[in-house]
Amino acid sequence: MIDDSEDPKVPFARRGSIVDEHDLIALSELVHSDAPLSQGIRREQFEERFRRFIGSRHALSVTSATVALQLAIHLLDLAPGDEVIVTPQTYQATGQPLLDYDVTVRFCDVEPGSLNIDPDALEALITDRTRGVILVHYGGFSCDADRILALTRPRGIVVIEDCAHALGSRYFGRRPGSLADIGCFSFHTTKNITTLGEGGMITFERDEWRERLDRLRSNEVDAVFTPRADRNMVEPVALPWMKYSQGVYRQNCAEVRRAGTNATMSEAAAAVGLVQMDKLPDLVATRRSIAIRLNEVVRGALGTRTLEPPPHIEHSWHLYTFLIEGAGRRDRLVQQLHRRGVEIQLRYFPLHLLPEWRARGHVQGECPIAERLWFTEQVNLPCHPGLSEGQIRHMVDALDESLAELPQSAGDRPLQARP
């Protein structure tokens, strides 16, 4: 037996979703059928279901959000000297594909009230060479998409939404993933739904991107080659499932073919994805109810600030985050919570200060707010549907006690949003 029992009392998030007998039934149906295990009907059904839920024109499944982001960045057709603006308050996968391009990356500082990119800071970073913006709806708190698009649309800048946290969120009734040009979703074990541990989806509006993405995610396979007796060459032959074989490719494969990949979501993953979509509203409601209880405790303490969205934003509460001011108080609090068995992971170390970005010349001071918050004020608490009532109570009590033990002097007033 594998022993997974070495646990904190309240784990940060080993699973972000509930996987149970309903998922098993879907898997069992697949296993007991003679359907193919890849490129079958379940993948198409999951994509269609997802597309409708998000309200995007297209949705294509892939094997992770990392691949979705790679493919999304590929669509920008970046040339040397182009510029891309990225949030620093995110997981490394958001900006990582850009390391392979000869482009200038500009990290845009965040707003302290949401940890999302600050539209004013964004405006100051836009130049004639800006080709793309990659934003994250941090923790599931939707970015102010209308303000951002008012800056980018007139200049033809493509906006990629990293929606790894934002499944289940809304912005003026619309879903992240349909707000801008391209949305990238994750179904990793810790995310709001999972396709058995790994998976992703890419949503987008432009029809011309569909064939390109579909081919890129499947090795560009769209013809088989048969020898021809009368000529010393091969002839591409389209089979019925090869959707794109009739056009240019057929005339000149060498010119059209690019370096594709295989990011095909398996039928097993898609079967579970369909079941997970049924559960999503309940999963998000559970997250919200935990966040409400944590907010009550945090609001009662001095020098703290909750990150609560305005009424036009529905938060998916993928992450529960609050801020605490006062020298050393955050670090003391994290220590006390760990001592009481509440696992804390501070998400995320500012991207521009990771070694790969420092090696490209990025330095401390580039995003002062993101840096100050991560190094001194930000706390992320466990907030996921796998927590039992007992674990939630334990966390609420541990938080209450740990906050009360902190020195009060440095934080005897509510936090102000500082410029």
Ligand X SMILES: *Cc1c(COP(=O)(O)O)cnc(C)c1O
Q: Minimum distance from CB of 233 to ligand X (Å)?
A: 41
**ω into residue 348 within 30 of 0, thus cis?**
yes
Q: Minimum distance from CB of 187 to ligand X (Å)?
A: 7
CA 253 vs CA 235, 259, 261: distances in Å: 10, 12, 17
By C-beta, is 131 or 188 nearer to ligand X?
188
Q: Minimum distance from CB of 414 to ligand X (Å)?
A: 29
By C-beta, is 165 or 305 nearer to ligand X?
165
**Residues paired with residue 58 on neighbouring β-strands, in sequence order:** 204
By C-beta, is 91 or 249 nearer to ligand X?
91
Three-class HEC string of 117-180: ECHHHHHHHCCCCEEEEEEECHHHCCCCHHHHHHHHHHHCCEEEEECCCCCCCEECCECCCCCC
Q: Minimum distance from CB of 91 to ligand X (Å)?
A: 4
Binding site for ligand X (CB under 6 A): 64-66, 90-91, 93-94, 136, 162, 164-165, 186, 188, 200
CB 323 within 8 A of CB 377: yes
Q: Which helix (H) or strand (E) holds 201?
A: strand 200-204
Closest CA to 162 of 86, 48, 53: 86
Q: Which helix (H) or strand (E) holds 372?
A: helix 368-372
- Token readout for 332 is 């003391």
Q: Minimum distance from CB of 70 to ligand X (Å)?
A: 10
If one counts every other C-beta atom within 10 angstroms of the C-beta of residue 2, the result is 4
By C-beta, is 193 or 297 nearer to ligand X?
193
By C-beta, is 100 or 331 nearer to ligand X?
100
Measured between alpha carbons, how far is 325 from 323 in angstroms, rounded to an integer? 7
Q: Minimum distance from CB of 216 to ligand X (Å)?
A: 16
By C-beta, is 244 or 320 nearer to ligand X?
320
